[in-house]
Amino acid sequence: MPTAAIGFHTTHWTMVLSARNGNDLGTDALANLCASYWYPIYAFIRRNGSTPHEAEDLTQEFFARILQRDWLANVHPAGGKFRSFLLACVKNFLSNERDKALAQRRGGGVSTIPLEREDAETRYVIEPPDPLTPEILFERRWVFELLEHTLETLRQEYTQTNRLDWFEELEGFLPGSKEIISRAELALKRGVSANAIDVAIYRLRQRFGALLRQKVAETVSSAAEVDEEIRHLMSVLNT
């Protein structure tokens, strides 16, 4: 899908600015957005030396500050990358919060984002040890969340057209996935030609790419930034 065709009226920045202006729907949308991208923040805080319980508290407090609009007053409409905005905010937040007593906040704070707590730490500890900085880890987690959201959207599209079985068999042919069946085996199973399978895989990949562009477009403030952001995020995976 050409970048120019991607609408920027529903970007993450739209939600931020709407919440900043006191719009309840904007605040709800921003809360849902935070719920979708909480894990990169959690991983960043953990990599900076916090314990699991501390990371839970700090992650909740971080998003509470955003939803209370503490950090939105000076946000400019041309805010650039939402990813960069969140990273700058959490780094500033940690520098201010590190010396506070987290124990006072545990049990007394308000949980604003539904963290999957057991899942969070499980995901964190099973990641292979590496020398990545907290910033690079954050960006990797951000990329993985984008890819997972894109894949789930694609899955829903196939489900809505009663083709979930097709999706589950073709999913392994997406870039970065592991093939669970060969093209020839799938053609035999489906009773179609190998060319038909190639066409189905091509369409799946094209749609995945278009959806990914849409997801990325929602995180930047202009169409001109989409290709640059995609190149950057893909380079992060190769770090």
Q: Could you identify the residue written with the tokens 């995976």?
A: 237
At 20-32, the pLDDT tens digits run: 777 777 677 777 7
**Integer Cα distance of 124 and 127 in angstroms:** 6
The separation between CA 197 and the C-alpha centre of its own chain, rounded to angstroms, equals: 30
Element (H, E) at 204: helix 194-217
**Integer Cα distance of 108 and 206 in angstroms:** 48
At 175-231, the pLDDT tens digits run: 888 878 899 999 999 999 999 999 999 999 999 999 999 999 888 888 888 999 999
Q: Who's near 27: CB < 8 A, 6+ residues apart? A: 18, 19, 67
The separation between CA 183 and the C-alpha centre of its own chain, rounded to angstroms, equals: 31
Domain ranges of the chain: 3-237
Answer whether 0.85 is exceeded by the pTM: no
